[in-house]
Amino acid sequence: MEEHYKHLYEALSQVDGYIYPNEIDLHWGLMIVLYPYITGLVAGAFILASLERVFNVKVLKPTYGLALLTALSFLLVATLPLVSHLQHPLRAYEILMTPNPTSAMAIFGFVYLWYLMVVLLLEIWFDYRLDFVLWSKKSTGFKKYFYKIITLGINDTDEKSAKLDDKLGYFITLIGIPSAFLLHGYVGFIFGSIKANPWWSTVLMPVIFLFSAMVSGIALVMVIYMVVSWIRKVEIDMPCLDTIAKYLFYILIIDFTLESLDQIHRIYEAEESFDIIKVLVSGKLNITLLIMQVMLGTIIPLVVIGIFQVYKPAEKIRKFSYFFVGILVLIGIFFMRWNVVIGGQLFSKSLSGFTSFKAVYSGLEGYVMAAVWLIVPLLILTFLLWLMPPWKKVVTHE
C-alpha cells in the first residue's frame, strides 16, 4: 500500500495540466494490455487455420495443426491476466453467475467459453481423434493413458468414421470463423463502447481489433512454424511460408487502412476532444505509436513483404526476413494494444491534462508477470506439440 501511495505521489507531481483528482491512479495497466493482445493472437491463429480448411488454401496445410494448437495454448491463458488484475479475483466467477446483460465485459465471458468449449476443443478433437486411437496402440506410459482417455471411448478407425470426423470438423470450423470474429470483435467493443473516452469510443474499434488480431495471429504462427521447423531440423515449406506472408501483407494493409481512416476521421472532424488527442499522439504516445506501432510494426513489414511480392530474393533471405518481419509485427500489435489501453487513460476525461504511466517490474501488474503470461502459452504449446505432434498425424482432412 505504502508503495502504491508513493507511486501515486510521484505521478501527482508529474501531472500536466488539469486532471480530475481520481484520475491520477491508472486503473488498467499492463495486464489489460495483454488481455486483448493474447485474445487477438488466438483469433488470428484460428482464422489462419480456417483459411486452409474452409477456404481450401491447400499450401497452408503444414501450419494447420500448429495454428490450432497455438490458438488453444494462448486461449487457455487469455483470461488469466484479466482475472489477476481484479481487486477481488475470487469473485470473478460472478461474471458467469450473474452477468449484467448490458455490460460488454460480462458477455465476453460467454463468448470466451463458447469459443473454448465448442469451437477450439471440438475442432481439435475431431481432427485428432483417429490419431489418438492409433497412437494409443503404439505408445506407452502417460501418453498411452492420455490418448486412451481423450478418445472418449470412440475407437473406430474405419474410413467411415474418419469421414464423419472430417465432416464434423469442417462444420465446427465453419461456426468457428464467425466465433473468432465475435471473440475479438467483442474485445474491441469493450473499449469502443465507452463513450466517456474519446480515444476509445469509435465504431471502428471492433473492426480494427479484428484485423489487428488477424495480423498478429498470422505473424505468430509464421514465427512459430519457422522456429519449430528449425528445432525439428526439417525443411521449411517455402510455398507455405510465402503464402502466409502474402496473407499477412494483405491483412496488414486492411488493418493499416482502417486505423488511418479512424485517425483521418478524427483529424477532419476535429471534435472537442481533438486538441488533447493531438497532444497525446505527438507527445506521450509518439514512441509507442509512431515508432513502435506504425514504423516498426506496420510500415517496415509492409515494405519488406511488399517487395517480395514483385521481386523474390533467395530463399535464405526470404526466410530471415519473414522471421524478422513476424517479430516486428508481433511487437507492433503489442504496442497497438498498449496505445489503446494505456493511451486512453493518459489524458483526463476533463480533456484538460495528462497523467503519466510508469510500469513496475515486480508484482502482479509488473513486467515480470507480463512476461510470464506470454511465456506460459509457449510452454503449453511445447507440451501440446510433444503430446500431439501435428507432423506425426496419420491422417489429415481432405
Partner 1 sequence: MGTERKVNNRRKFFQTSAALVGGTLLYAIIKPFEALAQPKEEELKTDKANLPLWGMGVDLEKCIGCGKCAEACKIENKVPKEPFYFRTWVEQYTVKNDGTVKIESPNGGIGGLKQSVPDEEIFKSFMVPKLCNHCTKAPCVQACPVGATFISPDGVVLVDETYCIGCSYCIQACPYGARFMNPITKVADKCTFCYHRINEGLQPACVEVCPTNARIFGDLRDKESDLVNFLQVNPTQVLKPHLNTHSRVFYNGLSSEVK
Which amino acid appears at position 28 of this protein?
W
Tell the smallest beta-carbon distance from residue 352 to partner 1 (Å). 6
CB atoms within 10 A of CB 276: 21
Using CB under 8 A as the binding rule, whether residue 320 contacts partner 1 is answered as no
Residues in the interface with partner 1 (CB under 8 A) total 65
User: Which residues lie closer than 8 Å to 20 by C-beta, 6 or more apart?
Assistant: 348, 349, 350
Query: How many whole angstroms separate alpha carbon 270 and alpha carbon 2?
Result: 42
Using CB under 8 A as the binding rule, whether residue 389 contacts partner 1 is answered as no
Q: How far is CA 156 from CA 163, 222, 234, in A?
A: 11, 34, 32
- Listed ranges 82-90, 251-259, 299-307, 383-391: which one lies at the site for partner 1 (CB under 8 A): 82-90
Instruction: Specify the residue, 155 or 382, whose C-beta has the smaller distance to partner 1.
Output: 155
Gyration radius of the chain over CA positions: 22
Using CB under 8 A as the binding rule, whether residue 194 contacts partner 1 is answered as yes
Nine cell digits for residue 196: 466517456
- Listed ranges 135-143, 346-354, 362-370, 389-397: which one lies at the site for partner 1 (CB under 8 A): 346-354
Nine cell digits for residue 328: 516486428
* Residue from 8, 162, 261, 299 binding partner 1 (CB under 8 A): 8
SS3 353: strand
Query: How many whole angstroms separate alpha carbon 258 and alpha carbon 264?
Result: 10
Tell the smallest beta-carbon distance from residue 357 to partner 1 (Å). 15
Q: Map the footprint of partner 1 across residues 236-295, applying CB under 8 A.
A: none
Using CB under 8 A as the binding rule, whether residue 20 contacts partner 1 is answered as yes
Q: Map the footprint of partner 1 across residues 119-148, applying CB under 8 A.
A: 122
Query: How many whole angstroms separate alpha carbon 239 and alpha carbon 49?
Result: 16
Tell the smallest beta-carbon distance from residue 387 to partner 1 (Å). 21
Query: How many whole angstroms separate alpha carbon 44 and alpha carbon 50?
Result: 10
Q: State the distance between the two ends of the chain, measured CA to CA, in whole angstroms.
A: 59
SS3 354: strand
Instruction: Specify the residue, 185 or 301, whose C-beta has the smaller distance to partner 1.
Output: 185
Q: Map the footprint of partner 1 across residues 84-113, applying CB under 8 A.
A: 85-89, 91-92, 94-107, 109-110, 113
Instruction: Specify the residue, 21 or 141, whose C-beta has the smaller distance to partner 1.
Output: 21
Instruction: Specify the residue, 119 or 388, whose C-beta has the smaller distance to partner 1.
Output: 119
Tell the smallest beta-carbon distance from residue 386 to partner 1 (Å). 26
- Which H/E stretch holds residue 16? strand 16-17
Query: How many whole angstroms separate alpha carbon 244 and alpha carbon 96?
Result: 37
Nine cell digits for residue 4: 502504491
- Listed ranges 150-158, 232-240, 285-293, 372-380: which one lies at the site for partner 1 (CB under 8 A): 150-158
Name the site residues for partner 1 (rule: CB under 8 A). Answer: 1, 4-5, 8, 12, 17-25, 27-28, 85-89, 91-92, 94-107, 109-110, 113-114, 117-118, 122, 152-156, 158, 161, 164, 190, 193-197, 345, 348-353
